[in-house]
Amino acid sequence: MTEAELLDRIAKTLKQEIGPAVDSEYPKTQAFMAAVVLQKLSRQLALASGHRQANGDDLNLLIDDIAESVITKPVPEEVASAARQLAEARDDNALCGWLEALYANRAALGAVHFDALLGRTRTTMRANIDRQVEYAG
């Protein structure tokens, strides 16, 4: 039995057996709310591995797209440096640095190139957010 399955079983026990057996309203409410929290945590644990993989895959594709874009159209050194740092670090801090460099060099990039780079980055970030809220539903 996985951790996620164990948490889900505990949540079901709280909701179906313990909560209904309690007479007092406050403890009954606590049992039901604990069940809700455990169900959410169970779902998050069950999805965690797949989400990590998908986030990594999306970030790799973003880095590839950025590298191609930086090669085909010259960018300010600060943007190129942030792209290199993102490719090396592959983490949220480097992604923030990339976004900061984009906004700091917005005028130098020009509206079309800036919008293309930012739009591509937002697509990856949006997919990450969608995965994060998947277990909350």
Q: What is the pLDDT of residues 28-67, one digit of tens each?
A: 888 888 888 888 888 888 888 999 999 999 999 999 999 9
pTM for the model: 0.76
Q: Which residue has the tokens 């539903």?
A: 137
Orientation of helix 25-72 relative to helix 3-13, angle to 10°: 150
Question: For residue 72, is pLDDT > 90?
Answer: no
Mean pLDDT over 70-82 rounds to 91
Burial class (CB in 10 A: 0-12, 13-18, 19+), 66: buried
The alpha-helical segments, DSSP class H, found in the chain are: 3-13, 19-21, 25-72, 77-89, 92-104, 106-109, 111-134
